[in-house]
Amino acid sequence: MNSAARIEAFLEMMSAERGAAENTLSSYRRDLEDASGAIDGGLATAAAADIRAYLDDIAARGFAATSQARKLSAIRQFFKFLYAEGLRGDDPTGTLDSPKKGRPLPKTMSEADTGRLIDRAALEAGDVSSGDGDSLASLRLHALVEVLYATGLRVSELVGLPVTVAQRDDRFFMVRGKGDKERMVPLSAKARAAMKSWLAARAKVPAFADSPFLFPAASDSGYLSRQVFARDLKGLAARAGIASAKISPHVLRHAFASHLLQNGADLRAVQQLLGHADISTTQIYTHVLEERLVRLVNDHHPLAD
């Protein structure tokens, strides 16, 4: 049985026994056939050195670490199948390390751009509340932006907030996040005021009267979808003179964390506010701490000049 036939046998197993989707099978086929074509004698008889040389080659051709890791994963699965079926007595991928994936820094916004975004939202909400605007969506968007930047909530947590958060007018509230874990987050005075304005407008919409959600909508979930908020946020950014490609709800969450750290917050405190189970997740923001430490030394160390 040559390499092509063994690849077909592997794909048949993935389809019949594991119920792999068509897209998954197509991806496996491309990766395995690419490797088999690049290795003398085909993939099925390749040694560890052959596979390592192939991985070095695709790295040199500019394939991203994620693509390299995906291809190696497909090759590993293939050889596990051959070994399990008795078609090979060894697994040449056992000694191969996965390509190192560089962890990208989170996209964020400057404090100045964040201020411009929020000021624009407040301006448009003011126009609506004074009767000059034509849509309550502006009041809703202002509340969403203020609350997101004040709390750093995940977008799913934000859009699904209960209406009681605004009704109580507390400086802190509990949110249930990933893993059904609760955490306490703060609310700024501006965020509370924006929620109150939205709450007053919301009360005038009969369809929202019985909704338990702060941001109700005619959807399966009963509240505003993340996609609608993301679309509205990009439109707001464009009107504020900020490139819409630079903004998303997650970017505002990153801005919340980055700006806290830039202004002296403790990494552990930011971890708790973001709802990260592990401090290593929050450490993507350590570049902010490093920049602050450099400025601190340059500004205050007696030998900095």
Q: Give the separation between CA 188 and CA 200, rounded to whole angstroms.
A: 19
Domain containing residue 216: CATH number: 1.10.443.10
The catalytically annotated residue of 18, 101, 168, 178 is: 178
**pLDDT for residue 132:** 47
State the Cα angle at 188 between 170 and 175, rounded to 5°: 55
- Tell me the average pLDDT across 43-71: 88
Residue 35, domain member (yes or no): yes
Count of CB atoms within 10 A of residue 296's CB? 12
Q: pLDDT band for 227, please (50, 70, 90 cuts).
A: very high
The catalytically annotated residue of 140, 142, 154, 192 is: 154
| Known active-site residue 154 | yes
One-letter amino acid identity for 230? A
- Tell me the average pLDDT across 155-171: 92
**Tens of pLDDT, residues 17-52:** 888 888 889 999 999 999 999 999 999 999 999 999
Q: pLDDT band for 178, please (50, 70, 90 cuts).
A: confident
**pLDDT for residue 258:** 87
pLDDT value at 292 more than 60: no
Are both 57 and 127 inside the same structural domain? no
- Number of domains into which the chain is organized: 2
pLDDT value at 76 more than 90: yes
Residue 175, domain member (yes or no): yes
Are both 120 and 186 inside the same structural domain? yes
Would you list the DSSP string of 205-230?
-GGGTT-SBSSB-SSSSSB--HHHHH
Angle between the N-to-C axes of helices 65-84 and 48-60, in degrees from 0 to 180, rounded to the nearest 10: 160
**Tens of pLDDT, residues 100-143:** 655 555 677 889 999 999 999 999 998 765 544 457 899 999 99
- Tell me the average pLDDT across 185-203: 93
Q: Give the separation between CA 238 and CA 117, rounded to whole angstroms.
A: 9
Domain containing residue 22: CATH number: 1.10.150.130
The catalytically annotated residue of 107, 183, 196, 250 is: 250
- Structural domain span for residue 244: 111-249
For residues 272 and 159, which has the higher predicted lDDT (pLDDT)? 159
Residue that finishes a domain, picked among 49, 84, 119: 84
Residue 50, domain member (yes or no): yes
Are both 42 and 147 inside the same structural domain? no
Sign of CA dihedral 20, 21, 25, 27: negative
Q: Which has the minimum average pLDDT: 32-36, 43-47, 90-94, 262-266?
A: 262-266
Residues near 262 by Cβ (< 8 Å), separated by ≥ 6?
Answer: 111, 288, 291, 292
Are both 129 and 177 inside the same structural domain? yes
Residue 300, domain member (yes or no): no
**pLDDT for residue 303:** 62
**pLDDT for residue 298:** 65
| Known active-site residue 253 | yes
Residue that finishes a domain, picked among 224, 249, 274: 249
Q: pLDDT band for 1, please (50, 70, 90 cuts).
A: low
Are both 135 and 71 inside the same structural domain? no
Residue that finishes a domain, picked among 249, 264, 292: 249
| Known active-site residue 250 | yes
**Residue 302 gets which letter from DSSP?**
T
Are both 140 and 198 inside the same structural domain? yes
pLDDT value at 297 more than 60: no
Residue 263, domain member (yes or no): no
pLDDT value at 294 more than 90: no
The catalytically annotated residue of 142, 253, 254, 259 is: 253
pLDDT value at 171 more than 60: yes
| Known active-site residue 83 | no
Are both 153 and 78 inside the same structural domain? no
**pLDDT for residue 288:** 59
**pLDDT for residue 31:** 94
Q: pLDDT band for 228, please (50, 70, 90 cuts).
A: very high
State percent of the chain over pLDDT 90: 58
Residue 143, domain member (yes or no): yes
Are both 129 and 245 inside the same structural domain? yes
Residue 23, domain member (yes or no): yes
Mean pLDDT of the chain: 87
| Known active-site residue 254 | no
Are both 71 and 127 inside the same structural domain? no
The catalytically annotated residue of 54, 149, 223, 285 is: 285
pLDDT value at 11 more than 50: yes
| Known active-site residue 190 | no
Residue 256, domain member (yes or no): no
Are both 121 and 232 inside the same structural domain? yes
pTM here is 0.62
Are both 226 and 116 inside the same structural domain? yes
For residues 232 and 272, which has the higher predicted lDDT (pLDDT)? 232
- Tell me the average pLDDT across 232-251: 93
Are both 181 and 58 inside the same structural domain? no
